[in-house]
Structure 1
Amino acid sequence: MQTRWNPFAVSNGAVALGPLMAREFDQLFRDLSLRPDSRELVPPADIYETAEGITLQVDLPGHDPKAIEVKVENDTLTLKSERKTERSDKEGARRLERSFGVYARTFVVPRTVDASKVEARYDNGVLTLTLPRREESRPRVVEVKVNS
């Protein structure tokens, strides 16, 4: 009898991947297949949203702040930077784990963001981008009038 192979099934005591993990793997492979240049590295990012706007924090340790390119065009924010190796000769290296090369990341910017007021700050290897909301999209408090 033949059994259909299920890569997410439990076998030999291994834990099955849940639907969340399966989605993460799917997203990972989609992201990798969408990269126009497979030599580009994707820096990790944290995204926070508040009433004032959106804050992005991107890890770019060892990058020259003057060489970091931040571009906002239509509804797309693109980050690009290159981390260059400090040593030209790899002779004598026992282990090389640090990544060098072009780092790039693209984000879709919501329409509620005022792209003309985006600010960027680089501190201790972290690039922080502040994307303020448009005035008309900010929540406003409406005063309740009481008729007496």
Structure 2
Amino acid sequence: MPPPKSKPAEALPAATTSYKLKPSRKTAVNPRQKFRLAQGFGMMDWVRLKQASKDLAQLKGSKLRPDITLSEVATHKTLHDCWIVLRGVVYNIGPYLAYHPGGKNIIFKLAGTDCTAEFDKYHRWVNIEGLVGVLKVGYLAKS
């Protein structure tokens, strides 16, 4: 099958042509409640921090714990020591809070809890390990 014929260059709009689109009312509303992050706290800044840091989870050389209870997770509810449970894995999400596109408060209000259901409601498609795997503290104890 031969390749499709391309349009002659003169039939294409010039690269400098500006198009004016009328914004719709739907785009004016911010349904996902995203807001502008502070300078230096974008997703690429987070990626660079993950690559450059040795102990973001603040494990201080200890190994991942296999037996963390939900009551212990509930005691870690500060901005710098903010533990959450996602799908049975415990993360110290504190270092990531300032990088979250929805703002730190949306995650911080779930500190010390199993927030799997809330996370899956909005971010089921997100690769947790790729995003915050370096913040893993251990695993929730089997009850």
Relative to the length of structure 2, the TM-score reads 0.21
> Counting helix residues as a fraction of each chain, which structure ranks higher?
2
- Which has the higher relative contact order, 1 or 2, with Cα contacts under 8 A spaced 6 or more apart? 2
Report the structure, 1 or 2, having the larger strand content: 1
